[in-house]
Amino acid sequence: MADLIEHYILQDVTKPERVIILLHGIGQNSGYMEEPGKLFAKEMPNTLIVMPEAPIKMHYTPDKVARVREKYDPGFDPDKARSWFKTDIKGWPRMMLQLVFNNMPVIKKVNDLADYYRDKYGLQDKDVAFFGMSQGGAIALHAAISREKPVAAVVSHSGMFFGFTRAKSKPDVMMITGEADDYLCENKSGLKSFFVAPKNSLRRLARRHIPVTNLWLKDLRHEMTPESLSHAAAYLKKAFNVSAGASKPEDKAFVPVVPAPVAAGASPTV
């Protein structure tokens, strides 16, 4: 277990029947996944909720920290901000090649984590699912399709699919996108749009014949809300064949996602 990516277990489960890997967004940390994790654990008893920590520490200027706290998250702690991969545009050609050859190190680490808990509890790939927010949604998709056998489901919440890679397996996917998400849907950067625009992600998934349930929510921004998470929970319950009758989540404030700081010469992609 020493070689596994840093991660946290939401709560101990003596004999899990399934495992869900929750992947936070850029600028966040595993703590941001506690809210969806609690909901999924409540709706699907005997589920092991695993929350890995992205390996790269982010660096924010004081001005950027102030803007993030004002616009997105008053409690934002820059010392805990993480990313799944470097956003410096100079590193993108290398990352694209890693995706082409299914050899991106962080994706392997995420899958190694899923495999560890699958095997530890005598489960199968159909007992594993991925949920990711924003950049974590991209990692969830790429991790799932790089596996030899399909997992039960993938939920990419306000996420994106970069393409480039071949799909070894074709799991059921839910894409949750907000019509009010100006980060994904309304951007002036052609480069950013190429990577994050929902229409491009859906086109790439369709080209690989990956089954997608595409959900647009009218007032949703680049955030997780009780409504959006209830849709994710219902989708995962169906994928796992958990009995119907999910209770409604409490109407709590949304869990904010923090966009990446974009330095000069850096890619603005989430």
The mean pLDDT of the chain is 85
The arithmetic mean of pLDDT across residues 51-59, rounded, is: 93
Residue 52 identity: P
Residue pair 146/103 in contact (Cβ under 8 Å)? The answer is: no
Does position 156 have pLDDT exceeding 80, yes or no?
A: yes
The arithmetic mean of pLDDT across residues 49-63, rounded, is: 93
- pLDDT score, position 94: 60
Dmax over CA atoms of the chain, in Å, equals: 51
- Cα 127 from chain centroid (whole Å): 18
The structure tokens listed for 95 are 């990352």
Give the predicted TM-score (pTM) of the model. Answer: 0.84
Range of lowest pLDDT (95-104, 179-188, 237-246, 247-256): 247-256
- pLDDT by residue (tens digit) across 241-252? 998 654 444 444
Instruction: Please give the full DSSP string across 130-194, using - where no structure is assigned.
Output: EEEETHHHHHHHHHHHTSSS--SEEEEET------S--S----EEEEEETT-HHHHS-S-HHHHH
Does position 226 have pLDDT exceeding 80, yes or no?
A: yes
The beta strand positions in 35-92, using DSSP E, are 47-52, 56-57, 82-83
- pLDDT score, position 23: 98
- pLDDT score, position 269: 30
- pLDDT by residue (tens digit) across 9-31? 998 899 999 999 999 998 899 99
Does position 264 have pLDDT exceeding 70, yes or no?
A: no
Instruction: Identify the residue with better confidence: 71 or 33.
Output: 33
Instruction: Identify the residue with better confidence: 117 or 105.
Output: 117
CA 84/CA 58 separation, integer angstroms: 10
Does position 99 have pLDDT exceeding 90, yes or no?
A: no
CATH topology of domain 7-243: Rossmann fold (3.40.50)
Instruction: Please give the full DSSP string across 86-121, using - where no structure is assigned.
Output: --BGGGHHHHHHHHHTT--HHHHHHHHHHHHHHHHT
Domain ranges of the chain: 7-243
- pLDDT score, position 96: 62
